[in-house]
Amino acid sequence: MSNSIPNIEAGSSPAAILTAGIQAAGGNVSLACSFSMEDVVIIDIAHTAGLTLGVFALDTGRLHEETYEVAEALVERYRLSINWYFPRHAEIEALERTKGLFSFRESLENRHECCRIRKVEPLSRALKGVNGWVTGMRREQSVTRSDLKSIELDELNGGILKINPLVDWSERQVLDYTNEHNLPKNRLYKQGFRSIGCAPCTRAIALSDQERDGRWWWENPENKECGLHKR
Kindly list the domain boundaries of the chain, sorted by start residue. Answer: 14-223
Beta bridge partners, 151, equal 163
CB of 159 closer than 8 Å to CB of 27: no
DSSP-assigned letter for residue 202 = B
Instruction: Give catalytic status of residue 114 as yes or no.
Output: no
Q: Can you give the pLDDT at residue 189?
A: 96
Backbone angles phi, psi at 49, to 5 degrees: -85, -5
Low-confidence residues in the chain, pLDDT < 50: 1-2
Provide the 3-class DSSP secondary structure of residue 146. coil
DSSP-assigned letter for residue 6 = P
Q: Can you give the pLDDT at residue 221?
A: 82
CB of 83 closer than 8 Å to CB of 57: yes
Which CATH superfamily does the domain covering 14-223 fall into? HUPs (3.40.50.620)
Q: Can you give the pLDDT at residue 55?
A: 98
Q: Indicate which residue of 33, 115, 198, 226 is catalytic.
A: 226
Q: Can you give the pLDDT at residue 1?
A: 47
From the list 144, 97, 92, the residue with the least C-alpha distance to 113 is 92
DSSP assignment string, 11-45: T--HHHHHHHHHHHHTS-EEEE----HHHHHHHHH
Which amino acid, one-letter code, is at 186? Answer: N
Q: How many other CB atoms are there within 10 angstroms of residue 220's CB atom?
A: 9
Q: Can you give the pLDDT at residue 230?
A: 60
Q: Can you give the pLDDT at residue 5?
A: 84
The rounded distance, in Å, linking the Cα atoms of 214 and 224 is 10
Q: Can you give the pLDDT at residue 229?
A: 56
Q: Can you give the pLDDT at residue 6?
A: 81
Q: Can you give the pLDDT at residue 227?
A: 58
Q: Can you give the pLDDT at residue 172?
A: 95
The rounded distance, in Å, linking the Cα atoms of 215 and 193 is 10
Helix or strand holding residue 152 (H, E): strand 151-154
Q: pTM of the entire structure?
A: 0.92
